[in-house]
Amino acid sequence: EADIYQTPRYLVIGTGKKITLECSQTMGHDKMYWYQQDPGMELHLIHYSYGVNSTEKGDLSSESTVSRIRTEHFPLTLESARPSHTSQYLCASSEWGVETEAFFGQGTRLTVV
């Protein structure tokens, strides 16, 4: 079934650790996005991609990095986690066209202690 998957769902990790949040979609979409959702539930775009080898920074500055080596895979990496990175991270994908719908994953709730 076509879907978008995020793993892990929950992650508690110590300060200074390197982490990678996984996002995969089987929808055949070229566009993918990472959003950070803060405790007040506001959504901030931190990274997006138009396709393979395309990555762009979003409106909210983030210390994370992303890669897009395969169409279906858009992982997000933090080289050295800090408590300020504690948040919910949402991955989404969509087809081309400004009028198209974005499909969201379940999210990863990251806690850095």
Partner 1 sequence: AQRVTQPEKLLSVFKGAPVELKCNYSYSGSPELFWYVQYSRQRLQLLLRHISRESIKGFTADLNKGETSFHLKKPFAQEEDSAMYYCALSNRDDKIIFGKGTRLHILP
* CB nearer partner 1, residue 106 or residue 111: 106
Dump the DSSP string for 37-96: E-TT--EEEEEEESSTT--EE-SS--S-EE--SBTTB--EEESS--GGG-EEEEEEEE-S
Contact of 65 with 6, CB cutoff 8 Å: no
Interface positions, 76-95, toward partner 1 (CB under 8 A): 90, 92, 94
* CB nearer partner 1, residue 1 or residue 99: 99
CA 21 to mean position of chain CA atoms: 7
Greatest alpha-carbon span in the chain = 41
Residue 75 near partner 1 by CB under 8 A: no
Site map (CB under 8 A) of partner 1, residues 10-39, x = contact = ---------------------x-x-x----
Segment lying near partner 1 (by CB under 8 A), choices 9-17, 42-50, 61-69, 78-86: 42-50
* CB nearer partner 1, residue 33 or residue 112: 33
Task: Count CB neighbours of 44 within 10 A.
Answer: 16
Chain residues that interact with partner 1, rule: CB under 8 A: 31, 33, 35, 40-43, 45, 48, 50, 58-59, 90, 92, 94, 96-107
